[in-house]
Amino acid sequence: MNQIDAAETDRLSDAIREILPALEVFNQFRKQDLSAFQHSAWMAALDQPLPESGAGLQQVLHELTETIIPHGFRNGSPGFSSYVTTAPTTAGTATALASTVAGSQRWHVHPFNYLETVALRWLAELLGLPGHWQGTFTSGGSIANIIGLGAARQWTLERRGYDPSRDGLPPDLRYRVYASNEVHQVVIRAAAVLGLGRRAVAPISVDAKQRIDLNHLREALEVDRSKGIIPIAIVASAGTVNTGAIDPIEKMAEIAAKYETWLHVDGAYGLFGVLDPRVSPLYSGIEHAGSVAVDPHKWLAAPVGCGAVFVRNRALLGRTFTAEPAEYLEGAVEISEEIRSPYDDFGELYHDFNLEMSAPSRGIQVWAILKEIGAKGMRERVVLHNNFARHLASRVEKDDRLELLAAPVLSICCFRYGAPQAEEANLDELNANIVNHLRAEGIYVPSTTRVNGKLAIRPCYINPRTRISEVDGLVDQVREIGDALLSR
Ligand SMILES: Cc1ncc(COP(=O)(O)O)c(C=O)c1O
């Protein structure tokens, strides 16, 4: 048989050259985001039946250039401050391409695998986590939280003589995970995935600064103890997604020690905040946690698909997530001493600490970003973005048409338009309308949330392309749109 595969496996430079101009144009974020308005045009072009005969690489590149890239998602645009997401910087993008080509699987010992280890070490050092902690990269915060709480579940039940990973959850026991009602919803899903159930997450109220109420936490633990309910973990948010509030980690660690339970810290967004000396004291006590989640694809601006979790004892992760040995993988043959090959050593067995078997090498992106800008560059970014939120807050406070709803702790500032003549009952709708107008214009794109029941405009600054002019521009636009809507 002399069959040749239908797919092009060479001509990479030609292909990259072909799509590069469209990527460069996109990356300048000059045009308005028309993807939503024009979706009838690009959807119709893409909504084609499965081709029986392939159209060829040239056609793929043409459609990428003409139809797909120009309508991409503009979360990297300098004025985009919604959610907690941004587009990667150049080092992350170039590295993602390099690892797709040369390190497309993290097994075995090669630089892409090895840099997982190096990058985890750098990340832990950058974030001030204890040196003996070990981690694993994940696809994001969702999985990082599942892994951290999976370790908590294993630790808790092993101490009672059970192995939940091997045998499942003992049916006659009841469990609880304690988290503030500002916790990210992925923590609740983690409880569901781990078989504890969503309802096992006890929503603990928050104080006036959206931090977990310690008295309520103690009460809930006490009541549950009297009922024989087993505490699996206390979850501290180190940077809530709504306002950036940081739970009192040190005190929560003391409570966790008293009730002999695991402390998990969700720092997916906010753990990088520890790099700002103004807020770093708020993270003290983190060294007493059992696990910590952090997302390089947020503030570090790695390409999306890069989270991480660190645990104080990674052997526990091995027992929680180990994949049974497989003949096809580790091999049915003994490794020979005489005939050595690059496939003898799997390197760090990340697939035994994690939920994924095959996975891209994610550490390389973290390595590249930190290699490029260093710890100093990252510190400067975090301080700058926290300054943006503070600058915005001070403008809001000086303006009688604006109201600050939550003073920034990190890089989120929650505020609303509320000119003196506007009625409280109408403010939610008015502010939602303002944000709808902003999003339609597409230059300043914050999201919304609720703070103490009030609808807030919520910019979150993690985007390395954002400048102070975008912060001022957002305030000016909110005033302008608010005034115009009010006068109608
Ligand atoms: C505090 C926090 N935890 C968890 C997540 C979920 O992370 P991911 O979207 O990477 O799964 C987010 C996302 O914004 C977050 O802000």
Compute, in angstroms, the gap from residue 305 CA to the centroid of ligand 1. 11
106-139: pLDDT as tens digits: 888 999 999 999 999 999 999 999 999 999 999 9
Distance between terminal CA atoms of the chain? Answer: 76
Q: What is the mean pLDDT of residues 329-357?
A: 82
Q: Nearest C-alpha to atom 8 of ligand 1 is from which residue?
A: 141
135-174: pLDDT as tens digits: 999 999 999 999 999 999 999 999 999 999 999 999 999 9
Confidence grade of residue 332 (pLDDT, cut at 50, 70, 90) = low
Q: Is the pLDDT of residue 488 over 90?
A: no
Mutate to test the pocket of ligand 1, among 143, 181, 184, 185 (most ligand atoms within 8 A of CB): 184
Compute, in angstroms, the gap from residue 488 CA to the centroid of ligand 1. 39
Cβ pair 182, 237 in contact under 8 A: yes
In one-letter notation, the amino acid at residue 23 is L
Compute, in angstroms, the gap from residue 142 CA to the centroid of ligand 1. 6
Cβ pair 485, 436 in contact under 8 A: no
Quick check: helix, strand or coil at residue 156? helix
Mutate to test the pocket of ligand 1, among 249, 269, 298, 462 (most ligand atoms within 8 A of CB): 269
As for ligand 1, residues whose beta carbon falls within 6 Å of it are 84, 140-142, 184, 186, 237, 239, 241, 266, 268-269, 295, 307
Task: Please report the pLDDT score of residue 347 as a whole number.
Answer: 84
Q: Where are the beta strands (DSSP E) in 289-334?
A: 291-294, 307-311
- Two tokens, residue 366: 């973290």
Please state whether 427 falls in left (phi above 0), alpha (psi between -120 and 50) or beta: alpha
Compute, in angstroms, the gap from residue 141 CA to the centroid of ligand 1. 5
Compute, in angstroms, the gap from residue 326 CA to the centroid of ligand 1. 33
Which of 468, 55, 482, 88 has its CA nearest to residue 298? Answer: 88
Average pLDDT, rounded, for the chain: 95
Compute, in angstroms, the gap from residue 117 CA to the centroid of ligand 1. 23
Mutate to test the pocket of ligand 1, among 138, 142, 362 (most ligand atoms within 8 A of CB): 142
DSSP state letter for 424: H
Task: Please report the pLDDT score of residue 338 as a whole number.
Answer: 87
Among 70-74, 157-161, 205-209, 475-479, where is mean pLDDT lowest?
70-74
Confidence grade of residue 408 (pLDDT, cut at 50, 70, 90) = very high
Task: Please report the pLDDT score of residue 35 as a whole number.
Answer: 66
Task: Please report the pLDDT score of residue 33 as a whole number.
Answer: 65
Instruction: Go through 19-42 and write b for each residue having 16 or more CB atoms within 10 A of its CB, e for each that does not.
Output: beebeeebbebeeebeeeeeeeeb
Q: What is the mean pLDDT of residues 314-324?
A: 90
Which of 177, 160, 162, 168 has its CA nearest to residue 224? Answer: 177
Q: Is the pLDDT of residue 335 over 90?
A: no
Task: Please report the pLDDT score of residue 92 as a whole number.
Answer: 97
Distance CA(441)–CA(476), nearest Å, equals 14
Cβ burial, residue 358 (10 Å; 0-12/13-18/19+): exposed
Confidence grade of residue 1 (pLDDT, cut at 50, 70, 90) = low
The Cβ of residue 435 has, within 10 Å, a number of other Cβ atoms equal to 23
How far, rounded to the nearest angstrom, does the alpha carbon of residue 153 sit from its chain's CA centroid? Answer: 22
Ligand 1 atom with the smallest distance to the CA of 241 is 16
Ligand 1 atom with the smallest distance to the CA of 85 is 14
Distance CA(9)–CA(104), nearest Å, equals 15
